[in-house]
Amino acid sequence: MTAIQILIDGFAISALYALGATGFTLIFGVSGVLNLSHGALMVTAAVVAWAASSELGLGAYAGAGVGVAVCTLLTLATYGLVVKPIDRSRAIPPEEKEIFILTGTLLWGIMIQEFIAYLFTSNAKTVRPIVEGVVVIAGVRTPWNQIFTAVICWGTIALLWVLVNRTRTGKVVLAASMNPRGVTLLGFELSRIYVAIWLIYGVLAGIAGVLLGQFLGVSPYSVGPLTASAFSIVVLGGLGSVSGSLIAAYVVGYLETLTAYLISPAYRTIPSLLLLVAVMYVRPQGLLGRR
């Protein structure tokens, strides 16, 4: 009984982690950027979806759409207003670009977080679920919303796979993530690839954010933990490796769920943090890292 419940719960949570981390790792793979405003983008999607559907009364579907759209725009703004200027800046020496992008995106995330708290208070919000009700699977009462979450996450990841492997744009993006210089030699403009990849990232983060808002709810306080969990999943899986992140998401998701059910919800994150430290000492490049 508990075993099945852990299996079901863990699957949905892990699917959500996987989707959240995919965009994050894609950006790192292509442009070497670790975006520390990641959590803020996800929270924006959820809070906007909540505001649109509950406060403005647009309904669940339109609300979710508005949430994803706003998140995508904000993600593009993150690139245009923070990442790109730092990348182009001549006053910052190349070896320090990394710390500037980390600090810059972190500040950007804090700005978003504070602005959301200003408009909507810091209390948690939950997005009206698109599907309601429960279904009993092998004796476990499972909300339809949980199944819906897992299906949409995997559907989106599958679509992304098709995009990357079956379309021209996708193939260029894939090539860019493996060898950015090589792609420019082939005559592709790297800056346009960057915009495309940030756009994809925005949509992924938006969908993940709205689903999270429906499933568990978010508040401005979720910003930090969300960024941290995406960061650790991506490092665990190997920076820049999408399939590595997917595996890592499931490892972390199930480890947390097991701990919460079998030991105590209070210890939820500790084993995954210890695992992360252990992996970093034994295999710093992560599970499927290339370095």
Partner 1 sequence: MRKLAPAATRRLVRALLASTVLIGSHAVTSTVQAADPIRIAVIAEAQALAGASIPQAAQIAADEINAKGGIDGRKVELVTYDNKSSAADSVRAFQRAASEDKVHAVIASYISEVVLALQPWSARLKMPFITPGAASNEIPLNVHKDYARNKYSFHGYLTSKAQSQAVCDAAKAILVEGRQMKTAVIMSEDAAWTKPLDEGYKECLPKVGLKVLDHIRFSPSTTDFNPIFSRIEGAKPDVIVTGISHVGVQPTVQWRSQQVPIPMIGIASQATNATFWKETNGATEGVLFEMFAAPGTNVTPKTAPFAEAFKAKYGNYPSYAGYTAYDEVYYITDAVRRAGSTDPDKLVEALEKTDWEGTLGRIQFYGREDDFTHSIKYGPGLVSGMMMQWQDGKQLAVWPPQVANGKITFPSFVKAGSAAN
Partner 2 sequence: MLHTLLRSPLLWLTVIGLGLAAVLPLWVSGYILGLLTVAYYFGVFSMAWDLLFGFAGEVNFGPTFLIGLGAYSAGILNGHGVPIALCLAAGAAAAVIGGVVLALPALRVRGPYFGLTTVVAVLILQNLIVVFAETTGGEIGLTVPDVISIDAATNYWIALGFMTVSGLILFAIATSPVGLILQASGQDPVEAGALGFNVAKHKLAAFCVSAVFSGLAGALLVFYMGTASVGTLVDVSVGVQVIIAAVLGGRRTIVGGVLGAVFLIAAGELLRPLGALSTFVVSAAALVVILFVPAGLLGLLTRQGQRA
Contacts to partner 1 by CB under 8 A: 2, 5, 9, 13, 48, 51-52, 54-56, 66, 70, 115, 117-129, 132, 134, 141, 143, 145, 216-217, 219, 221-222, 225, 257, 260-261, 265-266, 268
Rg, C-alpha atoms of the chain: 19
Phi/psi zone of residue 138: left (φ > 0), alpha (ψ -120 to 50 degrees), beta?
A: left
Closest by Cα among 16, 24, 13 to 237: 24
Residue 277's binding partner out of partner 1, partner 2, none, with CB under 5 to 8 Å set by partner kind = partner 2
Residue 158's binding partner out of partner 2, partner 1, none, with CB under 5 to 8 Å set by partner kind = none
Q: Smaller CB distance to partner 1: residue 19 or 242?
A: 19
Contact 23, 161 (CB under 8 A): no
Nearest approach, Cβ of residue 104 and partner 1 (Å): 20
Contact 210, 259 (CB under 8 A): no
Residue 169's binding partner out of partner 2, partner 1, none, with CB under 5 to 8 Å set by partner kind = none
Residue 186's binding partner out of partner 2, partner 1, none, with CB under 5 to 8 Å set by partner kind = none
Nearest approach, Cβ of residue 130 and partner 1 (Å): 12
How many Cα neighbours within 13 Å face the side chain of 149?
31
Buried b (16+ CB within 10 A) or exposed e, 261-274: beeeeeebbeebee
Nearest approach, Cβ of residue 252 and partner 1 (Å): 13
Nearest approach, Cβ of residue 108 and partner 2 (Å): 6
Q: Token pair 């894939």 is at which residue?
A: 174
Residue 111's binding partner out of partner 2, partner 1, none, with CB under 5 to 8 Å set by partner kind = partner 2
- Residues near partner 2 (CB under 8 A) are 34, 82, 85-86, 89, 91-92, 95-96, 98-100, 102-104, 106-108, 110-111, 114-115, 117-118, 224, 228, 231-232, 235, 239, 266-267, 269-270, 273-274, 276-277, 280-281, 284
Q: Smaller CB distance to partner 2: residue 89 or 165?
A: 89
Helices (H) and strands (E) in the chain, counts: 12, 2
Residue 98's binding partner out of partner 2, partner 1, none, with CB under 5 to 8 Å set by partner kind = partner 2
Report helix angle 97-120 to 223-237, nearest 10.
Answer: 140
Nearest approach, Cβ of residue 106 and partner 2 (Å): 6
Query: Amino acid identity of 153?
Result: C
How many Å apart are CA 63 and CA 69, to the nearest integer?
10
Nearest approach, Cβ of residue 89 and partner 2 (Å): 6
Helix (H, G, I), strand (E, B) or coil at 31: helix
Nearest approach, Cβ of residue 143 and partner 1 (Å): 5
Contact 92, 82 (CB under 8 A): no
Report helix angle 168-178 to 190-215, nearest 10.
Answer: 100
Residue 176's binding partner out of partner 1, partner 2, none, with CB under 5 to 8 Å set by partner kind = none
